[in-house]
Structure 1
Amino acid sequence: MSEQKLEIVKTEDKKPKPETDQIPFGKTFTDHMFVMDYETDSGWYNPRIVPYEPLTLDPAAMIFHYGQTVFEGLKAYRAEDDRILLFRPSQNLQRLNRSSERLSIPPIDEERVMYYLTQLISLEQDWVPSTQGTALYIRPFIIATETNLAVAPSHSYKFMIILSPVGPYFSGGLKPVKINVEDQFTRAVKGGTGTAKTAGNYSSGYQAQAKANKEGHADVLWLDGVEKRYIEEVGSMNIFFKINGEVVTPELNGSILNGITRMSIIELLKKWGIPVSERKISIAELYQVYEEGGLEEAFGTGTAAVISPVGELNWLGHQMVVNNHEIGELSQKLYDTITGIQTGKVEDRHEWTVEVQ
């Protein structure tokens, strides 16, 4: 990446900001965005913050044909003392580079991109809402832009960061959801792209999600793609189970995304002295545990929801009601602790937050 000064072009036509209690997820965008380009002979170049605007791409741009793209998702939070805080952003940039490696996309300089990111958020800090449960969602992403129909990695790319204020994930408060265990479609397999945040991983799950929604379920629990036995993820979240006092989550096996919220929860549980293990767990084992009365809590984890309690799992006609459709004590404590750290209400003893100046 060549040494170049960050160019900032401010808009002359600022948008009205939405009411904080009426912000739909991902439909409202701030005044500016970050853009940087890549060419094989030049590396990453021309970093700039410019007014938010549409892109112009050639119809033969390789992103349209071969799906060479990666992305991330994180948030900026407004603390009660008006500070703007990011939650473990370096982990997102590290994961972006891991995803890029899997998709044959050149890596970014994480330290310099962190600087560009904080400069963008500083410019757009008035867009960070202050109402409880709200945040400024941050979407960094890379797309292949070379005009070429040859099946090979692109020689040119565009890296962008766009920002979107978002309301509370749970508009009616934290409530357990119903999950359908998917037995037909496959999310990912070891050696595939399941460990990367890339577009195709998500669109390939739409049919299973639609089927689950039609049957009254909020999300899908994916099983492994080979044997259809072992639990992997819930939709776009990692999954945890509290079983007879121990917290169990599927181990990272080459097809499961290494979630940053997942990582944080494991670290918190270990600090609290609560037994936690990362291992293979089959759906049959989980059902047996449930039948024996040992399934105490279940919850998904991710940037959007932080904690999404699971109140019911349905597997081949077997219904598993978790904690009487109520939020578990541990799930609530984890949610309160992580959201408290993110918003400055709880002391950050882990150095997880970064203040935007």
Structure 2
Amino acid sequence: MKSDETEPRQPGVAPTAPNPVQPPPAGRAEGPSGPSTLVDASGRTDVTKALMGQATYRSLGEQRLSPAEERFERARRTTGLWLAPLVAAVFLALPLDMAPSQQTLAGILLGVIVLWVTEPVPIPVGGLIGVAAIVVFGVVPPDDALSPFGSPTIFMFIGAFILAQAMLKHGVARRFAFFVLSLPGVGRSTFRLIVAFGVITCLLSAFVSNTTTVAMLLPTALGLLTVIAKMLQDRGMVAPGFDPARLRVGAALVLMLAYGAGVGGLLTASAAVVVPIIIPIAAAAQVDPFVPALAATFAASFGFMLPVSTPQNAIAYGSGVVPITTMIRSGFTFDVIGALLIILGLPLMVALTGIGG
């Protein structure tokens, strides 16, 4: 039988109480794999600061991951270190009837895609590795390789992210978010909210460019995520030190923003990369290159899996709330649907219009 008496103590020494669970100190909360989100003195996540401080690439120690997730991420990133150069080398060794520079460009592109998917290095670094490779292997001179970095689209991206951060900091995005939530029937469920946001995006993209639409609405999407995250926090539906960037509704909102704007467009930045590769391949196969190039253009419009597929995807990924694995998983289904539409619809369009004949 256990005694109810406390342990004897020395005179002048305060009794010790059972060690309660203390909230994490102000700073960055500790997750299973290390610090992840900003928290206040009470241990609650500061949602606004956490979302403003998100980066597109975080090391394993900067994420809140379960042991299984950490093992998967570690294996994925390690695999990319050897798989990317292997894929590029195998393609370069294939006996294809292509100009050497074209085959080299295609091989480098495949290697960079592997880097983007597996993320052994941040995606921007992977892209720069590709730029350096096409110069080193003599595909293009340095000036031609670096000139796209002066594109107005790049500065539009920069402006969009600056605007988004400013609107978050000063509460403007929150006001827009409340307006969207106040629309009849929208605030009743997250599904209706996501659908309504997609409809708004599609309507706007019918009158202005897709990239501009996403740049304009990104702050509102982040504002909606902020409101939802704070609501979940106030109702005790999330852990005190949770990471708002990992909420599924946030990824769904931002992806809907990119997909809704992307469906309405046909020319994208990726078409400019893919079409020059498709045309010589078709010519080498003695096929009229017009139809394959047209298919590649349509396919580029249905590029949902990678940040570099479309400018809209790049902006969505740059928000920091859409991990590359989430973008790949969600985009795969839409890519399959797009491929089926192209395979079934393009021959019919060619037959009806007589183009490429």
TM over 0.5, shorter chain:
no
TM-score, normalising length: structure 1: 0.26
Structure with higher helix content: 2
**Relative contact order, CA 8 A, sep 6+: which one is greater?**
1
TM-score (norm 2): 0.26
